[in-house]
Structure 1
């Protein structure tokens, strides 16, 4: 079905009056490539080059609405305003940490909220993007999991997070993006693939600077590999065996670790991109020397580095504590001794609940009030 047929609202048969579309019927222009916008325009009787003009306004000039696209004919701008929309997100809160991380709560058109994080480093600027409102994975140590899944985000809503954060912080170009915010990206795989394609082709973010994280949704991993987009894959293990992993990551019951690692190997072969294995360290739960040795055995024959993530406390989850520095050190040394490259996640935004596992969509509150809180 064409873009026009599937997305543009139609008038009832025999009616000469234009029907005002609902929010669900409006075409979200952000999230479409130049090629798709060209198709959309030609199917509506416009010259093909209008698609590239609109793409330039969306992704380079950051137009918030079709009415701002001043090199389009006034009649086309008026027409677009009746059935299409550009920007849909609005900020409801900003929390800035002393370490430079800034968490934004962004409200969607339906009143639900998501969170995205701006992460400046000396050599680069990264953003952490959400792919769902809430999350169905149920990780017992994660704030987002406590929300459950409210709904999927569209490709446009994902891309718009990047554009919104870049506009909010215009002094440095955002060069990297990680799909590690709210949601399990590969349980919304088609929207994520489309968002990646737009970021690469239209926003000009290098595929090598884009990372998708997953708890091991095997069908999504294989679909991402088939997409031909050479982005980085981060596989969240968090346990060295299926029994403990099922306690920490309930969705793990659907895909055993060996099946997940096989899919990771296939991803590596098809894309040429290495896989990073992520492992959150929770005191006296999954951080013993025995766990470290079991992890080295599990990963034997599977290339890729291990990224250790000290657990970030979540309000309302009192049963877990971060591993001590001594336990982290012992765990790391065992992996290194086995020949594994090991990194440790830098904790950013912890004071404003912007660190890994702490995003919670502003509680999903419907509000237009803007609060600013700075940690000291």
Structure 2
């Protein structure tokens, strides 16, 4: 464990102050107009906040003194606070970040050759109750704000820069704690900041939203965004998916696939990534592979097979390696790009389906630490 990186920010939470991390470019332009400033001030603020990671208004030297004074009166920059920071044997790094109100979330950085993927959370807990996921066992507490979502990217960039190892965030996936489309109002501006050239400047292909299938908001996303889409499928028919992913009872596969076709139509040259967790004796048979191939016919697709990552109290076991390989070959023969996700960060409960781990325990232990401590899917 190492100490958490220091920042130049003093946490404030005064009534009436707007947290600037809650605002995308359009939001900052509205703030500039309210302050009788030109729209270009929004771009200046984006660069200071997200590219230079400066949170002290006095250091924003290309802003007028009068504007800096007004910002001190009406605005603040408030970030999640690190309480645990741990690195896996494979280099995966996981942070537990404390939020206002005594809540906490987990954020995971996964280093790979030539890239670094950050898995961010969108909610405290999750209400969808997927039976293979540890986060679901915690239940749902609340949605994150835009500031709390983009603050994870801000924090990770700052922490990685402090490492001095040249690691950085090149990809962001919203597949941490929570269902992103259940928090649409906060998630959309956060993703806009991720791809804004004056903020994080990530390619839209390198920002991926993962959903279990909230169809109305998926259709809305197709109208308002063109980031990459991953769908937590996990079963090739409604009967089995009703059991594994209970939201399917509300939005069955026919509705979900129609919304996914719309998304592909609105984002040309894209394909859907289908996430499929491999559960021994449940969804991993030859007939399941054949059903899956038929189900996705005609949709530009990539299928990502995920070995199940166990957690205390889990009702499932991971499919044997030879079964996963057979399932993959079957899909490949049917013409689908199929990959098997390599488990990363399992020794620190940072793997897919394991997020939440011991969050509550770590928050309770924080006073004993005497302050900040440290520690793809």
Report the TM-score when normalising by structure 1: 0.88
Stretches of structure 2 that go unaligned for 5 or more consecutive residues are: 1-11
Give the distance between the partners of 2:186 and 2:358, measured in 1 at CA: 23
Aligned length: 351
Give 3-state SS (helix, strand or coil) of 1:104's partner.
strand
Aligned-partner SS, 1:168: helix
The 5 A counterparts of 1:1-376 are: 25-74=16-65, 76-170=67-161, 171-201=166-196, 202-227=199-224, 229-272=225-268, 273-317=270-314, 319-360=315-356, 362-364=358-360, 365=363, 367=366, 369-373=371-375
SS of 2:305's partner is: strand
Q: 1:23 to 1:184 in 2, by over 3 A?
A: farther
Residues 176-195 of structure 1: per-residue CA shift (max 9 Å, x gap): 11111011111112321111
C-alpha distance after superposition, 1:264-293 (max 9, x if no partner): 111000112210111000111111122112
| Residues 112-150 of structure 1: per-residue CA shift (max 9 Å, x gap) | 101111111111111001111111111111111112221
Task: Judge conservation of contact 1:114–1:361 (CA < 8 Å) in 2.
Answer: no
For the Cα contact (< 8 Å) 1:105–1:361, is it kept in 2? no
Q: Does the 8 Å contact 1:176/1:205 carry over to 2?
A: yes
The whole-number CA distance in structure 2 between the counterparts of 1:24 and 1:258 is: 46
How large is the Cα RMSD of the aligned pairs? 2.0
Comparing 203-212 with 298-307, greater Cα deviation is found at 298-307
SS of corresponding position for 1:126? strand
Name the counterpart of 2:9: none
> Cα distance, 1:67 vs. partner?
4.6
Larger CA deviation: 214-223 vs 290-299: 290-299
- Cα deviation, 1:148-188, whole Å, max 9, x if unaligned, reads 22111122211111110011001333111111101111111
Answer with 53-62 or 254-263: which moved more: 53-62
- Using the TM superposition, give the Cα deviation of residue 362 of structure 1 relative to its aligned residue in structure 2, in angstroms: 4.4
Structure 1 residues 371 and 322, CA, compared in 2 at 3 Å: closer, same or farther? farther
Q: Unaligned 5+ residue runs, structure 1? A: 1-20
Which residue in the other structure is 2:7 paired with? none
Q: Is the partner of 1:127 in helix, strand or coil?
A: strand
Aligned residue for 2:22, secondary structure, equals: coil
How far 1:68 moved relative to its partner?
4.1
Partner secondary structure for residue 354 of structure 2: coil
Q: Is the 8 A contact 1:96 1:372 kept in 2?
A: no
Question: Which one is further off, 148-157 or 42-51?
Answer: 42-51
